[in-house]
């Protein structure tokens, strides 16, 4: 059975990291992740876990100032974007569709922070929304279109942290 929406509790930062590792190990090349969540919600922390799951040795820095960080040393390429400082018109000029359709760069996992800045979206993507709870975070996820692989085959493992 394909589950297209779901939610998870991430009690601490380690749980967020574990979820990222899981996604980094399982997501197929060509998957676009659109990350929503206020400042400090854990978007970058999650992508850092994805980097580890992909087997990338370098530490992943937040692309707040660089806009796009690219890592080619993992299982598949990782393109990590932060659109916080951009307007939708500036985002259009980045020609991101060339990344998500594989014409501009080899298909990889593209993780986009502040996806509300996107003037348009890919046909297929995994939406991840992080919100603060009392001490941890809550994650709601939704798949739009037919992803190259099912990101959360049942049963979804617990990400309990520690």
Residues making contact with Mg ion (CB under 5 A): 43-44, 62, 113
16 touches ligand ATP by CB under 6 A: yes
> Considering only residues 57-116, where is the footprint of ligand ATP by CB under 6 A?
62, 82, 113
41 touches ligand ATP by CB under 6 A: yes
Binding site partner of 42, from Mg ion, ligand ATP, none, Cβ cut-off 5-8 A by kind? ligand ATP
Q: How far is the CB of 84 from ligand ATP (least distance, A)?
A: 6
* 3-class DSSP state of 156: coil
Binding site partner of 117, from ligand ATP, Mg ion, none, Cβ cut-off 5-8 A by kind? none
- Residue of the chain from 20, 42, 51, 151 that contacts ligand ATP (CB under 6 A): 42
State yes or no: cis peptide before 99, omega within 30 of 0.
Answer: no
Q: Is the Cα dihedral 44, 138, 119, 32 positive or negative?
A: positive
Q: How far is the C-alpha of 152 from the C-alpha of 158, rounded, in Å?
A: 11
Binding site partner of 6, from Mg ion, ligand ATP, none, Cβ cut-off 5-8 A by kind? none
Q: How far is the CB of 81 from ligand ATP (least distance, A)?
A: 11
Contacts with ligand ATP: how many residues (CB under 6 A)? Answer: 18
- Alpha-carbon distance values, 161 to 10, 37, 130 (Å): 7, 20, 16
Kindly give the pairing relationship between strand 125-132 and strand 137-144: antiparallel
* 3-class DSSP state of 82: strand
* 3-class DSSP state of 25: helix
Residues that bind ligand ATP (CB under 6 A): 10, 12-13, 15-16, 37, 39-45, 62, 82, 113, 136-137
């Amino acid at each position: 059975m394909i589950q297209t929406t779901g939610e998870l509790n991430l009690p601490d930062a380690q749980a967020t990291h574990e979820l990222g590792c899981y996604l980094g190990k399982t997501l197929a090349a060509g998957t676009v992740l659109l990350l929503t969540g206020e400042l400090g919600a854990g978007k970058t922390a999650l992508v850092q876990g994805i980097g580890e799951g992909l087997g990338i040795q370098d530490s992943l820095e937040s692309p707040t100032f660089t806009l796009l960080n690219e890592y080619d040393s993992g299982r598949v390429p990782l393109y990590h974007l932060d659109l916080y400082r951009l307007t939708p018109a500036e985002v259009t000029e980045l020609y991101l569709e060339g990344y998500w359709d594989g014409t501009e760069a080899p298909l990889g996992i593209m993780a986009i922070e502040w996806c509300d800045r996107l003037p348009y979206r890919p046909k297929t993507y995994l939406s991840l929304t992080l919100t603060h709870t009392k001490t941890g975070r809550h994650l709601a996820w939704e798949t739009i279109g037919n992803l190259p692989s099912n990101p959360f085959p049942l049963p979804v493992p617990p990400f309990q942290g520690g």
